[in-house]
């Protein structure tokens, strides 16, 4: 079998696999869960399929447009495939993964954030606060850090988190947010 045939198989196989990933991605992702866990996050189906497609396409184009043959043709096609692989990872896979995880947060990360009391916090009980985060806002259960009642509408700062409850103090408008506990 000559290299042109291999390039055609890689090109068409990669296109078909790309289409399958696009159409059946969620379903296939569930079936193939765990297969890619052994490897680095660099090795994802989309990067591997993209590299195979790029290898085939580069080989076909180089065969027709350059005098390259043999090992030099294969090495050049492989280099282009590796570049495509890395570009797909750094320009597509990684930013999408970062975007998916950017809206999640741990309660502990709210320490130091400001917000507003929605439901009055009694001196010995819980109320509700609205906390502003980088990706929006979140409503959380809160208690008074100093054991004093905090009325609805008061601006607060989160001092600590314990047992999924935010412990808050009112913000003194003349001093701004004091982040010390």
Q: Count how many domains the chain has.
A: 2
Per-residue pLDDT of the chain (181 residues; tens, 9 = 90+): 688 999 999 999 999 998 988 888 766 665 655 555 555 677 888 889 999 999 999 999 999 999 988 899 999 999 999 999 999 999 988 888 776 555 567 788 899 999 999 999 999 999 999 998 776 788 999 999 999 999 999 999 999 999 989 999 999 776 655 444 3
Same domain assignment for residues 101 and 117: no
Domain CATH code at residue 128: 2.40.50.140
Same domain assignment for residues 12 and 100: yes
Residue 58 domain flag: yes
CA atoms within 13 A on the CB side of 128: 6
Same domain assignment for residues 102 and 117: no
- pLDDT for 149 equals 95
Residue 165 domain flag: yes
- pLDDT for 179 equals 46
Same domain assignment for residues 64 and 134: no
Residue 179 domain flag: no
Same domain assignment for residues 96 and 13: yes
Residue 60 domain flag: yes
Same domain assignment for residues 67 and 7: yes
Do residues 153 and 116 lie in contact, with contact meaning Cβ atoms separated by under 8 Å?
Answer: yes
Report how far apart the first and last C-alpha atoms of the chain are (Å, whole number).
73
61: containing domain: 3-106
Residue 150 domain flag: yes
């Amino acid at each position: 079998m000559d290299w042109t045939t291999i390039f055609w198989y890689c090109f068409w196989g990669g296109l078909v696999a790309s289409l399958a990933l696009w159409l059946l991605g969620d379903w296939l992702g569930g079936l193939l869960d765990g297969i890619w866990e052994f490897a680095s996050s660099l090795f994802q189906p989309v990067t591997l399929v993209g590299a195979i497609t790029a290898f085939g396409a580069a080989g076909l184009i180089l065969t027709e447009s350059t005098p390259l043959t043999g090992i030099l043709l294969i090495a050049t096609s492989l280099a282009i495939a590796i570049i495509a692989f890395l570009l797909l990872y750094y320009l597509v896979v990684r930013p999408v993964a970062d975007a998916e995880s950017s809206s999640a947060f741990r309660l502990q990360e709210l320490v130091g954030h400001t917000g507003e009391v929605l439901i009055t916090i009694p001196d010995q009980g819980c109320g509700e606060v609205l906390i502003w985060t980088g990706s929006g806002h979140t409503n959380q259960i809160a208690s008074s850090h100093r054991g004093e009642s905090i009325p609805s509408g008061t601006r607060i700062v989160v001092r600590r988190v314990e047992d999924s409850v935010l412990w808050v103090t009112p913000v003194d408008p003349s001093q701004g947010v004091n982040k010390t506990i």
